[in-house]
Homo-oligomer: A and B are copies of this chain.
Amino acid sequence: MARHIYLCPLRWADMDSLGHVNNVTYVDYLQESRVDMLRVHAQATGGEQLAEGTVVVRHEVEFVSPLVFRFEPVRIESWVTRIRRASFTMAYEILDELPDGGRHVYTRARTVLTPYVFAEERPRRIRDQERVVLERFLEPEPVPEGAT
């Protein structure tokens, strides 16, 4: 029931020729935050396969405001919105916390992931131990009416 916080360091090389962090790079930031969440928190509990042993099934990324290079890392909050038999959905916000307690959001995103057996090139079910890890970050989304 907690969000994972990842303080993502920027690189000078992340800026594109327009001086902004490029849209592609944000998707890398999401990956770094995801690896951090799944690997760090899963270690003690048999969930370590989740960090590298997953493939991305779907990304939805909404770019809210531009980010430019600075030395301070940017905050990425990530959590789990849905756990199914052989896939789960993560949500993220890339943001700065403001001195007045507000939040300046750069990007919102969701990723559907599936555990994957790379040696056999096939998806697999989520194990019970992994489910326990994911449930720690579960913050279900209200399902919109009429949605499947």
CB distance from A27 to the nearest CB of B (A): 5
A40 at the interface (CB under 8 A from B): yes
Q: Chain B contacts of A61 at CB under 8 A?
A: 58-61
Q: Chain B contacts of A11 at CB under 8 A?
A: 28, 32
Q: Chain B contacts of A57 at CB under 8 A?
A: 62-63
Select A24's contact among B13, B19, B69, beta carbons within 8 Å. Answer: B13
Q: Chain B contacts of A146 at CB under 8 A?
A: 146
A129 at the interface (CB under 8 A from B): no
In this complex, how many residues of chain A approach chain B with their Cβ under 8 Å: the count is: 37
Whole-angstrom CA separation of A71 from B7 in the bound complex: 12
Flag A45-72 by CB within 8 Å of B: 1 or 0 each.
0000000100111111111001001010
Whole-angstrom CA separation of A60 from B23 in the bound complex: 12
Flag A111-122 by CB within 8 Å of B: 1 or 0 each.
000000010010
CB pair B17–A32 under 8 Å, yes or no, is no
Binding site for B on A (CB under 8 A): 9, 11-13, 15-20, 22-24, 27-28, 31-32, 35-36, 39-40, 52, 55-63, 66, 69, 71, 118, 121, 146
